[in-house]
Amino acid sequence: MTLSADTDCSHGTARPEPNATASTSQLTRSQTLSELKTRIKAGLKTYPDFPKKGILFEDILPLFASHTLHEDLIRAFELQIAESLGPHNIPDVIVGLDARGFLIGPTLALRFGAGFVPVRKAGKLPGEIETAEYQKEYGTDTFAMQTSAIQPGQKVLVVDDLIATGGSAAAAGTLVEKCGGQLLGYIFIIELTFLNGRDKLNAPVFTLLESQED
C-alpha cells in the first residue's frame, strides 16, 4: 500500500491512499469501475416474494462468500469514493449501519486508513450515546452511536448495502452531525431509485448499482 504525502495530524501518521493495482494503471478509472460494477451485479442473487409477497430481495451475501467478488466490491467502493469525493476528501471515519453496513465498513476503513464506527439499534451500546429516530413501515425505530466515537471536525462517510426509503441513512447522518463530524456523504451498493430515498439525505449520495426497476 502506498502512502500519501499528507499526514493525519490527529493521529500523527501518514494516511494511506487507496490501493493501486496493475489493472488500474492500464485502464481508465471509469472503465475499471464499470467492469467491477458488472461483475458485482452478476454476483448478486435475487429472491422473489421475500421477505413478503411483492418484494424482490437482492441478496448481497454471495459477494462476501467469494474472495474475488469481495475484493471487487471493496475496490469498486474505493474507486467510486475517489471519483466522487476527490483527493482532498479522504474520510477519517467510515460509519456502517446495523447490520449489513458492518460487512462493508471495517474493510473499507482499512483501505482508507480510517476508523470504523458502528451505528446500532437502541439499547445495544454502552456509555454516553446519541440517538436518532427514523420511520419504518410500521412505526418508528431508533439508531444510536457512542458520543465519543467521532471527534469534532472528522470527515465521515456513511456506508450501507442498500438505500430504499432513506430513513435509516438519514438517522445515521443525524448522529454523525450530533457528534460533530463533517458528513461527506453516503455510499451504497444498491439504490432503489423508485423510492426516492436520497431526497431525505442532506449530503451527496453515491451508489454502485441502481434498482430492480432498470
Catalytic center residues = 100, 137
Helix (H) or strand (E) holding 67: helix 67-85
| Distance set, CA 145 to CA 94, 99, 140, 142 (Å) | 13, 14, 17, 10
Q: Per this entry, what is the length of the chain?
A: 214
In the block, cell 469525493 appears at: 85
Q: Facing residues of 56 across strands?
A: 48
Residue 177 near residue 203 (C-beta atoms within 8 A):
no
Cα distance between residue 127 and residue 19, in whole Å: 36
